[in-house]
Amino acid sequence: MEKTVVAEIAELLGEPRFHWTDPGPWEEMEREFGMRFPDDFRAIVDAYGSILVNDQVYLMHPARHLLHSLDRHVRDDLEMWREEDMAEYLPSPVGAGPGELIPVATCVTGEAVFLCVPDDASAKWRVVVQEFDSPAWTLYELTFREWLLAYLKGRDVTVCVRDRAPDGPFYAFLPGGPE
């Protein structure tokens, strides 16, 4: 039997404790941006909520009652990355249209994680990681689940975990979320 997206992540990160089931916040956010987030990303974020992974990667859920909400993060980051002097640091424009980059996570170590919106419904979502301290970015031919699994396994996906989680991957809820 094939493992679920969340089961693969849980084997490395630990059991999720958020378990969100109401699609309302996703539907509202997706209406605003005119796109649907990939199922693997939604499943992971619904399971874990707004968390800090390995004291490094911020993942956020769109539930508006949370202090750290994905919809606010996406809106604010889209505005910042659309500024003329920031756009040159990415391989594609930011936004929710085909071929554009939608910001979905940030890191305390200065990276921004984007999902590349597929050009058509049959194409695979990919991940782009941009390093704030340089004009460098890397495109990964990986879904979000694949990218996060690689990160949790300590592989170099621009954001590295080896020094941040020497005893293995872990997470903590962000302030203002469930405890």
Read off the pLDDT of residues 77-125 as tens digits, 9 standing for 90 and up: 999 999 877 878 899 999 999 999 999 999 998 899 999 999 998 899 9
Over range 55-70, report the average pLDDT. 90
Could you tell me if 132 and 111 are in contact, meaning their C-beta atoms sit under 8 angstroms apart? yes
pTM of the model as a whole? 0.93
**Is residue 3 within a helix (H) or strand (E), and if so which, with residue range?**
none
Average pLDDT over residues 121-142: 91
The pLDDT score that the predictor gives to residue 177 is 61
Is a pLDDT exceeding 70 seen at residue 14?
A: yes
Lowest mean pLDDT segment, chosen from 37-41, 61-65, 161-165, 168-172: 161-165
d(CA 131, CA 147): 16
Tokens of 20: 């969100």
Query: What is the structure's pLDDT at 43?
Result: 96
- For domain 5-153, say whether CATH 3.40.1580.10 is its number: yes
Residues 6+ apart with CB under 8 A from 65: none
Q: In this model, does residue 1 exceed pLDDT 50?
A: no
Mean pLDDT of the chain: 91
Average pLDDT score over residue span 31-41: 96
Listed in sequence order, the residues at least 6 apart from 176 whose beta carbon sits closer than 8 Å to its beta carbon are: 50, 66, 67, 68
- pLDDT at position 150 over 90: yes
Written as six digits, the tokens of 98 are 């085909």
- Nearest CA-CA partner of 114 in 79, 149, 77: 77
Whether 29 shows a pLDDT value over 80: the answer reads yes
Spans of all domains in the chain: 5-153
